[in-house]
């Protein structure tokens, strides 16, 4: 016979979580605590109902108890965080505004050249691809190249071209 479920002291906290759950994971965690205690279900039955394995359900119950007892910090919301972010979006915007001030007035942005400035402002080294993604996140985009080089001289190009007749005669 299976031992009875423990954690009766967390029933009220689980009920509160059940009412205020904003994600499916929070709902499952509250159910993992409440179903065995209030309905008398076994861990296997609870796992089947919430759609998790027996081990995952047991881990959810343990994690909920530890968070409720203050032994473990509450899990952070995944909605507000970006995984492995170098800076939050506001800080990124501030750094890009400082670095790209000349480009905002029509200057050319060469990403490898601004990379050291961005790294200095962030205080850590970043990959070039990270900088490209950061620019894309904040509305900077790659524009089509110009039809001619900015330092080209059309008069010299015309003078250099071979001058020949447009219509050749057959001999």
Structural domains of the chain, ranges and CATH numbers in brackets:
8-69 (1.10.10), 89-137 (no CATH)
pLDDT score recorded for residue 79:
56
Contact (CB, 8 A) for 36 and 49: no
**Dist. CA 85–CA 95, nearest whole Å:** 14
Q: Work out the average pLDDT over 70-85.
A: 69
Question: Per residue in 31-47, pLDDT tens?
Answer: 999 999 999 999 999 99
Question: Per residue in 84-96, pLDDT tens?
Answer: 677 788 888 999 9
Q: How confident is the model at residue 63 (pLDDT cuts 50, 70, 90)?
A: very high
- pTM of the model as a whole: 0.47
Q: Helix, strand, coil: what percent of the chain each, to 5?
A: 55, 0, 45
For the cut 60, the answer to whether the pLDDT of residue 1 exceeds it is: no
Q: How confident is the model at residue 104 (pLDDT cuts 50, 70, 90)?
A: confident
Q: Work out the average pLDDT over 49-69.
A: 93
Tell me the backbone φ, ψ of residue 57, rounded to 5 degrees: -65, -40
How high is the mean pLDDT of the chain?
84
∠45-9-76 over CA atoms, to 5°?
A: 80
**Dist. CA 86–CA 88, nearest whole Å:** 7
pLDDT score recorded for residue 167:
67
């Amino acid at each position: 016979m299976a031992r009875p479920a423990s954690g009766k002291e967390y029933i009220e906290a689980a009920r509160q979580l059940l009412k205020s759950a904003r994600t499916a994971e929070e709902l499952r965690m509250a159910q993992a605590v409440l179903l065995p205690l209030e309905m008398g279900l076994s861990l296997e039955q609870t796992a089947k109902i919430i759609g998790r394995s027996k081990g995952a359900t047991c881990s959810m119950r343990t994690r909920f108890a530890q968070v409720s007892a203050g032994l473990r910090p509450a899990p952070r919301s995944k909605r507000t965080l970006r995984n492995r972010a170098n800076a939050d979006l506001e800080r990124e915007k501030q750094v890009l505004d400082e670095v790209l001030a000349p480009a905002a007035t029509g200057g050319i942005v060469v990403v490898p050249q601004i990379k050291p400035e961005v790294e200095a402002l962030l205080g850590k080294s970043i990959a070039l691809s990270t900088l490209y993604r950061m620019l894309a996140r904040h509305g900077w985009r790659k524009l089509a190249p110009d039809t001619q080089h900015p330092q080209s001289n059309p008069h010299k190009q015309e003078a250099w071209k071979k001058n020949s007749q447009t219509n050749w005669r057959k001999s």
